[in-house]
């Protein structure tokens, strides 16, 4: 009967663990920081703000959408969400982002912040044709 964990289950779980750990390890290898970083803020797929991240640039602003608001804070080359109207506060928990490819998404309010490293993506025109 199918009522006990067996060796096929353990095999499946081990395979999944190995594959995912490999992806994580290889993925974290090529995330060195360089160049000018720009934070793009989207609300419901519309670009509402573009901020160049430097060490001494500091700002805080509120993005309103149909269903609520998010307060975004930029300081010391890092971006994070300070406050939000959504009930689950996932965007707050996503923490501070600072390197290329990282992003914060708030699903209920349709907000997204992404960081693009200019130098890294210079030859990669696909990423800019949004």
Partner 1 sequence: MNKLQKYVFLSLLTAGALILNIIEGMIPLPYIAPGAKLGLSNIVTLSAMVVFGFKDALMIVVIRCILLMLVATNPITFIYSIVSGIVSTIVMGAVLKYFKKLSLIGVSVLGAMAHNASQITVAAIIFENANMYYYMPILSLVSIFTGCFVGFASIFVTDNLNKTLLKLRREV
Q: How close are the terminal C-alpha atoms of the chain, in Å?
A: 52
Q: Are 90 and 67 contacting, i.e. CB atoms less than 8 angstroms apart?
A: no
Is 99 among the residues that bind partner 1 (CB under 8 A)?
no
Identify which range of 48-56, 75-83, 102-110, 117-125 contacts partner 1 by CB under 8 A.
102-110
Reference 81, options 68, 89, 71; nearest CA is 71
Instruction: Give the x-and-dash track for 23-62 against partner 1 (CB under 8 A).
Output: xx--x--------------x--x-----------------
Q: Is 63 left (phi over 0), alpha (psi -120 to 50) or beta?
A: beta
Nearest approach, Cβ of residue 53 and partner 1 (Å): 17
Are 86 and 111 in contact by the 8 Å Cβ rule? The answer is no
> Under the rule (CB under 8 A), what is the footprint of partner 1?
2-6, 8-9, 12-13, 16-17, 20-21, 23-24, 27, 42, 45, 67, 88, 90, 93-94, 101, 103, 105, 107-108, 110, 112, 114, 130
């Amino acid at each position: 009967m199918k009522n006990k964990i067996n060796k096929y289950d353990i095999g499946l779980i081990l395979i999944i663990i190995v594959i995912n750990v490999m992806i994580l390890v290889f993925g974290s290898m090529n995330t060195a920081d360089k160049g000018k970083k720009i934070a793009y803020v989207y609300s419901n797929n519309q670009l509402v703000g573009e901020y160049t991240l430097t060490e001494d640039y500091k700002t805080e602003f509120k993005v309103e959408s149909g269903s609520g608001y998010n307060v975004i804070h930029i300081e010391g080359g890092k971006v994070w969400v300070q406050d939000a109207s959504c009930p689950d506060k996932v965007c707050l928990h996503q923490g501070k982002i600072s390197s290329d490819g990282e992003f914060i998404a708030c699903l209920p309010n349709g907000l997204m912040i992404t960081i693009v490293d200019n130098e890294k993506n210079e030859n990669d025109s696909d990423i800019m044709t949004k």
